[in-house]
């Protein structure tokens, strides 16, 4: 029994790890961190192997949560460095000068961020996103629409600020 469990896990790892690590790489913009996130997601899956009915979804949702924690840590570090090296009045807030889509997605409320990451960055269909998040398909569509509108408005403000 244990042998077949290990074989199934190894096969799943061989199939899903490269794509999961690539998805994480696009989110964190660093190969080493991406591999750490993907590896941690697999470690957490392995710990719950017998109770997880949808391993692929579990991996992506877990990785999204780990990435969110990574982004939060980076933001805390950035703020600490800014406080230590520059007075607040010298530079305008970063959110007005950096229209990076990754940063904008990071700033979305979690209700909108998770479906956005799963649908647009992990290429999951709306039906699968709905199943993984426990929401109705119509709710996921509405959340994705709301996320796009927020991103569009923020990008417009950022571009207007630059011009």
CA 136 to chain centre: 21
Which one, of 148, 29, 153, lies nearest residue 95 by Cα? Answer: 153
Overall average pLDDT of the 30-55 stretch: 92
pLDDT digits (tens, 9 = 90+) for 113-148: 889 988 888 888 899 889 888 899 999 999 999 999
Beta strands in the chain (DSSP E): none
| E strand or H helix at 7 | helix 2-28
| Percent above pLDDT 90 for the chain | 39
Mention every residue, 6+ apart, whose C-beta is less than 8 A from residue 56. Answer: 16
Token pair listed for 161 = 């600020």
Q: What is the DSSP letter of 98?
A: -
Query: What band does 1 get if pLDDT is binned at 50, 70 and 90?
Result: low
CB 50 within 8 A of CB 104: no
pTM greater than 0.85 (yes/no): no
């Amino acid at each position: 029994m244990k042998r077949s469990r290990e074989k199934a896990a190894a096969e799943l790892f061989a199939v899903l790890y490269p794509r999961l690590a690539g998805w994480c790489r696009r989110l964190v913009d660093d190969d080493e961190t991406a591999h750490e996130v993907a590896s941690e997601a697999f470690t957490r899956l392995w710990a719950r192997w017998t109770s997880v009915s949808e391993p692929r979804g579990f991996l992506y949702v877990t990785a999204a949560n780990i990435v969110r924690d990574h982004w939060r840590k980076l933001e805390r570090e950035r703020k600490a460095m800014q406080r230590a090296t520059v007075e607040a009045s010298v530079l305008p807030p970063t959110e007005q000068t950096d229209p990076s889509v990754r940063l904008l997605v990071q700033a979305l409320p979690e209700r909108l961020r998770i479906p956005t990451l799963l649908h647009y960055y992990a290429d999951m269909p709306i039906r699968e996103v709905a199943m993984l998040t426990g929401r109705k398909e119509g709710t996921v569509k509405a959340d994705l629409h709301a996320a796009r509108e927020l991103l569009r408005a923020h990008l417009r403000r950022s571009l207007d600020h630059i011009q």
